[in-house]
Amino acid sequence: MAQSTIREKAIETLELEAKSVAQLAERIDDDFEAAVRAILDCKARIVVTGMGKSGHVGRKIAATLASTGTPAFFMHPAEAFHGDLGMVTADDIVIAISNSGESNEVVNILSIIHRIGARIIAMCGRRKSQLGRSADFYIDIGVEREACPLGLAPTASTTATLAMGDAIAMALMSARDFKKEDYALFHPGGALGRKLLLTVANVMHTGDENPVVSYHTTAKDALFVMTDKGLGAVSVVDADGKFIGLVTDGIIRRALAKDYTFLDKDVESIMFSTPLTIAPDKMAAAALSVMEKHQPRPVTVLPVVDDAGVPVGIVHLTDLLRQGVV
What percent of the chain is modeled with pLDDT above 90?
80
- Tens digits of per-residue pLDDT, 107-135? 999 999 999 999 999 999 999 999 999 99
Cβ count near 132 (within 10 Å):
21
Evaluate if residue 319 carries a pLDDT over 80.
yes
| 3 state DSSP class of 73 | strand
User: 64: which residues sit within 8 A by CB, 6+ positions away?
Assistant: 165, 166, 169
Amino acid at 35: A
Q: Highest mean pLDDT range out of 1-5, 6-10, 157-161? A: 157-161
Cα 44 to the center of its chain, rounded Å: 22
pLDDT of residue 268: 93
pLDDT band at 194 (very low <50, low <70, confident <90, very high): low
Query: Could you read off the pLDDT of 70-96 as tens digits, one per residue?
Result: 999 999 999 999 999 999 999 999 999
The model scores a pTM over 0.75: no
CATH topology of domain 200-322: CBS-domain (3.10.580)
In a 3-state reduction of DSSP, which class is residue 326? coil
Domains 3-178 and 200-322 are alike in CATH topology:
no
DSSP string, 272-321: BSS---B-TTSBHHHHHHHHHH-SSS--SEEEEE-TTS-EEEEEEHHHHH
pLDDT of amino acid 192: 64
Q: Is the pLDDT of residue 306 over 80?
A: yes
Averaged pLDDT, 215-243: 95
213 close to 221: Cβ distance less than 8 angstroms: yes
Domain edges within the chain: 3-178, 200-322
Q: Residue 55's closest CA among 73, 29, 43?
A: 73
Q: Which of the two residues, 39 and 3, has the higher pLDDT score?
A: 39
Q: What pLDDT score was predicted for residue 204?
A: 95
- How does DSSP classify residue 266? B
pLDDT at 297: 86
Give the C-alpha separation, 127 to 140, whole Å: 7
Going through the chain in order, the beta strands assigned E by DSSP cover 46-50, 72-74, 93-98, 119-124, 137-140, 212-214, 233-237, 243-248, 301-305, 311-316
Q: What is the DSSP string of 232-255?
A: SEEEEE-TTS-EEEEEEHHHHHHH
Cβ contacts of 118 within 8 Å, gap of 6 or more: 47, 88, 89, 90, 91, 92, 93, 94
CATH topology of domain 3-178: Rossmann fold (3.40.50)
What's the longest Cα–Cα distance across the chain? Answer: 94
Q: Is the per-residue pLDDT at 43 higher than 90?
A: yes
Q: How confident is the model at residue 323, as a pLDDT?
A: 81
Give the whole-angstrom CA distance, residue 236 versus residue 214: 6
Mean pLDDT over the full length of the chain: 92
Put the strands of the sheet holding 46-50 in their side by side order.
72-74, 46-50, 93-98, 119-124, 137-140
